[in-house]
Amino acid sequence: MFGADSGGPFRGRFRGLFQGRLLDLVNDETPICSAKDCRAAAVWVLAWNNPKLHTPERRKTWLACDEHREHLAAFLGMRSFLKDVVTLADWERAAAEAQPAAGDSAADR
């Protein structure tokens, strides 16, 4: 489906930032809701894991628009999978802060 170097559905600044079904892109810059058939812009990140499959620190993610946030959170919550719900802006900010600045090395930290 995707070539080895294509980056698959994860391109640009979002590549490597999200895992799982989370990121369905309209284009490289517009993440959309993970709800079935929804094409609305994502506002929320629902971080989750399945404790039967994932280590406790692993976080899978879904994106949600305002309309679907509660529905997707309830779906994950009923299964005890939901770990956190944060705005997409906060999630991106935290991811950017977690990555070392260009030119930084482990010795500089």
So what's the pLDDT on residue 99? Answer: 83
pLDDT in tens, 73-101: 999 999 999 999 999 999 999 999 988 76
% helix / strand / coil in the chain, to the nearest 5?
A: 25, 25, 50
**Whole-angstrom distance, CA of residue 25 vs CA of residue 17:** 13
**Phi, psi (degrees; rounded to nearest 5) at 26:** -75, -40
